[in-house]
Structure 1
Amino acid sequence: MFQVMERSITVSGTAETKKGAFQNALSQMKKDIAKNNPDILLQIEPQDVEVLTAKVSTYREKFLGFLFPRTRTRYEITIRVDVKIRAVSLAEVQFEEHAESLPPLQRVLRMR
């Protein structure tokens, strides 16, 4: 019922700061694991982090084409994270079935 798995996941994140890009990638990791795993996740523990690509894009933008010029920076990072996942397998949990038959009036009253 309790499972421990190890998996390697590649995720990427973008933001206007280095810290924001890294945090965006790590939050994407949790979403990716939850989407691809049907079990109930108890803990996701990173074992190793490897930066695959890290890019900085700098561009200049102006309001109405010529007013108020400013320089914008955008950080993009792609990382590979080796994680240890602890989960409870729902396929192994046995639920007992209990069917309740109520008259229609009591069913309506119980719904409130």
Structure 2
Amino acid sequence: MNIDTELLAQMVRDELRAVLPEVLRDAAAPILEMEMLRKKKYLRPDEVEKLYGLKATTLSNKRVLGLGPRYIQDKDRGSILYPQKDVEAWMQARKRRTYDQQ
């Protein structure tokens, strides 16, 4: 069975045109989500976790103990929001140098 090289090349191009947009969209989705989170002024605990790697449960524990970043609580709904600038400041204040970085 001898397949024409031009026909095979055209089939490959057609297949790539069909799947490439979906592949690129799927690959770009996490990047776009992170960029959208970076632009938000206030973050929910799950968004802080996605953006900064701080577990929502850790944030909750620190909040109860008064040790975490500043937050806003909606008294009616009980939802928690963290001003992103306060999360960043809180994390910066906890940076430590290792012995070999001095």
Whose strand proportion is higher, 1 or 2? 1
Whose helix proportion is higher, 1 or 2? 2
- Give TM-score, length-normalised by structure 1: 0.24
Whose RCO is larger (CA < 8 A, sep 6+)? 1
- Give TM-score, length-normalised by structure 2: 0.26
